[in-house]
Structure 1
Amino acid sequence: MVLLVGTHFFGRAASVMRISPHILHVAQPVDGGVARVVTDLVAAQLAAGLRVTVACPEGGMLADALRALGCTVRRWDATRSPGHRLPAEVRQLARLVGDVGPDLVHAHSAKAGLAARLAVHGRLPTVFQPHAWSFEAVGGAVARLALAWERFGARWATRVLCVSEAERRTGERCAIPAVWGVVPNGVDTDRFRPDGDSARSGAGPLVVCVGRLCRQKGQDVLLRAWPEVVRRVPGARLVLVGDGPDADRLRAGAPESVEFAGGVPDTAPWYRAADVVVLPSRWEGMALAPLEAMACARPVVVTDVDGARESLPQGHPPSCLVPPEDPDALARALTALLRDEPLRTSLGALGRAHVLVAHDLRHATAAVTDVYRELLGTAATPVVGPNEGRKCITT
């Protein structure tokens, strides 16, 4: 059956709630796109008058960014991946949930989703947001184990909240028996805009890739494609913005035309400096970087992974959506855009207009609050259709 839940701006959503609920976000990792989503969501919820606490590890950008917002942060000593420390992490989180006494728990990404569902065990409304499926990140027996857990752990998630319809379809195809929700990612269109400071750009056409330096984001594939781009577009330069576990390996042997900018507090100047923004991911739920680039009116080249097609506007050329793990196709797409300035300009304007309508942060954060309202019984009962099966909310 399908439940249709309308979306509202936060001021209206907050006015409908008679009692401000207490939301506990549980987050791991503490850097990258997940940390940005959590920070943006918490900022909007605090502004709406909700009571918000976040449990996360120290280190990275997340805890400091949340404290700067005035959010209560509780230290949760969790590693990024499951391991022998998991039982202790679950016990610590269970004690923390008892101390905080939230009305609803919202767990972000695979590790937090695993620990939070084990700690809460269905005793409170629990939202699990995968931000890309864990079983896509690994292979063999580990992938089978991760998928088995997701099938089992779905019983303790009141809602599995996906960031794209493709991510939801992947879960359904893998027989995860969830109660689904879909809220596409959004970006701050005031922060990410065409005008403003640009990063230093030097001479020659510039391609920028923003993302954690790790296998998921596929920078190794991009570096294999890059020599062909330079051969066909002399003077072209590539900047990799971000840090991560693969930084040293990627730097080794990289040509002079490739610059590693490292982690930066504000990526918007790099988007504005770019002629083309690329993200060659191996898997995603719905990546933030292409949305941020389009909000800055920059053309994008992305791999055809979960959420990618949904993030692009109608009329975007198919050549800018390439297969993952295909450096030749990636080189052709980048070369074609770098050689066509009018197309880059038109795609930039098209992307900006699309993000304003479909991926504005205010719509995304308000839609998440509507999910909370429904789970906490603070919204009118939705109209339910006659279809059978597990429920799905579409916002």
Structure 2
Amino acid sequence: MSPVVLHVSQPVTAGVAVVVTQLVADQVERGWDVHVASPEGWLAERAAALGAVVHPWAAGRSPGPGVLGETRRLAAVVDAVAPDVVHLHSSKAGLTGRLAVRGRIPTVFQPHMWSFQASSGPVGAASLAWERAGARWTHRLLCVGADELAAGRAAGVTGEAVVVPNGVDTAVLRPADRAAARRAHGLPTAPTVVCVGRLAEQKGQDLLLAAWPAVLDAVPDARLVLVGEGPMQARWRAAHPDSPSVRWAGPTDDPGSWFAAADVVALPSRSEGMALVPLEAMSCARSVVAFDVGGVRESLGEGTGAVVARGDVDALAAALVSRLADPTSADLEGVRGRDRAVRGFDRRRVAAQVADVVAALAVPAAAGGR
């Protein structure tokens, strides 16, 4: 009997949503009865197109007074679906989902980065306290990297856990001609750094912009392309308007074409679980320069780019300059990165590992163990 799986996610765009759709696609192909509860948006539309049953669930991205109503609405979805396994994605779904289910149904919680790592003060303390308490309603903690699991354990989050990395579609994200990609995006033939990501404090594009003058001092014709949108867009763009050296490209549904245009891909994040951008860039055979945040070293390994101390804008600039000044070496890093992505992070291999975790929980539930 095919398992009935309910994925619950808020957010509905960017990396978390991409991971959810990868898992939905794999599980639908397996013939499972796959459901998705999420607010309206890209995730819901994509999941429906893949063959999942979508249940609209009104929920904000951050915790607040609306949590009680969100929990009640989600509990109604759970009752209607009667899943064998509930798979909760990110902190908001992890909060409301575990309050709604309370361990009555096998529950997988996938943090996609711990909530307490992204907050400080009273909010951070409350997030930490909740994650410790919520562990009792978590049948399997699914971490995207050893760094994420270690951070949870250090914070006192207990329970059975498994590590399965994020994956990317290496059949779609492939090496492509750099010159053609630049022509398609109207970019000049010049040393180019591309940064793809939500324009938010966590993603750190302001740190990359702070490093950029030092890059220009060493490589005067360098170009920086910032791809994405988000809450910090207006402020950062006002401080660093479009110029010959900086371009704000807006959101994209085709990140691979932007990676193809790059000499180097930058990840200036302040925190991550395991970011998709380095994996996607490697799959496109591009060198990556990143701050040393969660999952980065696990992603890059050796010889595919550079990992510099978190927040060290001088080191970030120096690593970018060395690759822009020596594109042959940067391209060799990209070749090694492509091989690493195919061998270790292909979405099909990763989705199969997640399916094994879910199926193991679903068997006793479907047999009446619930």
TM-score of the two chains, using structure 2 as the length reference: 0.94
Equivalent of residue 4 in structure 2, options 19, 22, 26: 22
Q: Distance in 2 between matches of 1:254 and 1:138?
A: 26
Equivalent of residue 63 in structure 2, options 82, 101, 104: 82
**Inter-CA distance 66–377: structure 2 relative to 1 (3 Å threshold):** closer
Equivalent of residue 324 in structure 1, options 279, 294, 310: 310
Q: How does 1:277-356 map to 2 (within 5 A)?
A: 277-316=265-304, 320-356=306-342
Structure 1 residue 316 displacement after superposition: 4.1
Q: Any conservation in 1 of the 2:288–2:304 contact (CA below 8 Å)?
A: no
Quote the residue 2:368 is aligned against: none
Q: Does 1:126 align with 2:107?
A: yes
**What SS class does the counterpart of residue 252 from structure 1 fall into?**
helix
Q: Any conservation in 1 of the 2:286–2:333 contact (CA below 8 Å)?
A: yes
Q: Any conservation in 1 of the 2:304–2:334 contact (CA below 8 Å)?
A: no
Quote the residue 1:96 is aligned against: 77
Quote the residue 1:45 is aligned against: 27
Letter in 2 for 1:355: A
Q: Distance in 2 between matches of 1:183 and 1:70?
A: 24
Q: How does 1:1-395 map to 2 (within 5 A)?
A: 19-59=1-41, 61-195=42-176, 198=181, 199-200=184-185, 201-254=187-240, 256=243, 257-316=245-304, 320-377=306-363
Cα deviations by residue, 1:102-152 (Å, 9 ceiling, x for unpaired) = 110000000000000000000000000000010011111111110000000
Q: Distance in 1 between matches of 2:40 and 2:363?
A: 34
Cα deviations by residue, 1:289-328 (Å, 9 ceiling, x for unpaired) = 01000000000001111111000133346xx101222211
**What SS class does the counterpart of residue 297 from structure 1 fall into?**
coil
**What SS class does the counterpart of residue 26 from structure 1 fall into?**
strand
Letter in 1 for 2:22: D
Cα deviations by residue, 1:238-289 (Å, 9 ceiling, x for unpaired) = 1111111111011012151111111111111000010000111111110000
Greater mean deviation of Cα atoms: 90-99 or 61-70: 61-70
Q: Distance in 1 between matches of 2:196 and 2:99?
A: 34
Q: Any conservation in 2 of the 1:207–1:278 contact (CA below 8 Å)?
A: yes
**What SS class does the counterpart of residue 24 from structure 1 fall into?**
strand
Q: Any conservation in 2 of the 1:313–1:350 contact (CA below 8 Å)?
A: no
**Inter-CA distance 86–250: structure 2 relative to 1 (3 Å threshold):** same
Cα deviations by residue, 1:7-61 (Å, 9 ceiling, x for unpaired) = xxxxxxxxxxxx11010000000111001000111011111111100000013x2
Cα deviations by residue, 1:341-393 (Å, 9 ceiling, x for unpaired) = 22111101100000111101111100000001222237xxxxxxxxxxxxxxx
**What SS class does the counterpart of residue 377 from structure 1 fall into?**
helix
Q: Distance in 2 between matches of 1:258 and 1:30?
A: 29
Structure 1: 5+ residue stretches without partners: 1-18, 379-395
Quote the residue 1:10 is aligned against: none
**What SS class does the counterpart of residue 229 from structure 1 fall into?**
helix
Structure 2: 5+ residue stretches without partners: 365-370
Letter in 1 for 2:19: V
Structure 1 residue 178 displacement after superposition: 2.3
Matched pairs, number? 357
In proportion to residue count, which structure has more helix? 2
Q: Distance in 2 between matches of 1:209 and 1:330?
A: 13
**What SS class does the counterpart of residue 76 from structure 2 fall into?**
helix
Q: Distance in 2 between matches of 1:377 and 1:305?
A: 37
CA-based RMSD of the aligned residues comes to 1.2
Greater mean deviation of Cα atoms: 33-42 or 193-202: 193-202
Cα deviations by residue, 1:48-106 (Å, 9 ceiling, x for unpaired) = 111100000013x2111112212211000000000000000000000110011111000
Q: Distance in 2 between matches of 1:277 and 1:37?
A: 21
Q: Any conservation in 1 of the 2:263–2:331 contact (CA below 8 Å)?
A: no
Q: Any conservation in 2 of the 1:78–1:89 contact (CA below 8 Å)?
A: yes
Greater RCO structure (CA 8 Å; 6+ sep): 1
Q: Distance in 1 between matches of 2:207 and 2:302?
A: 27
Q: Distance in 1 between matches of 2:304 and 2:263?
A: 16
Q: Distance in 2 between matches of 1:129 and 1:151?
A: 14
Structure 1 residue 203 displacement after superposition: 2.9
Letter in 1 for 2:38: C
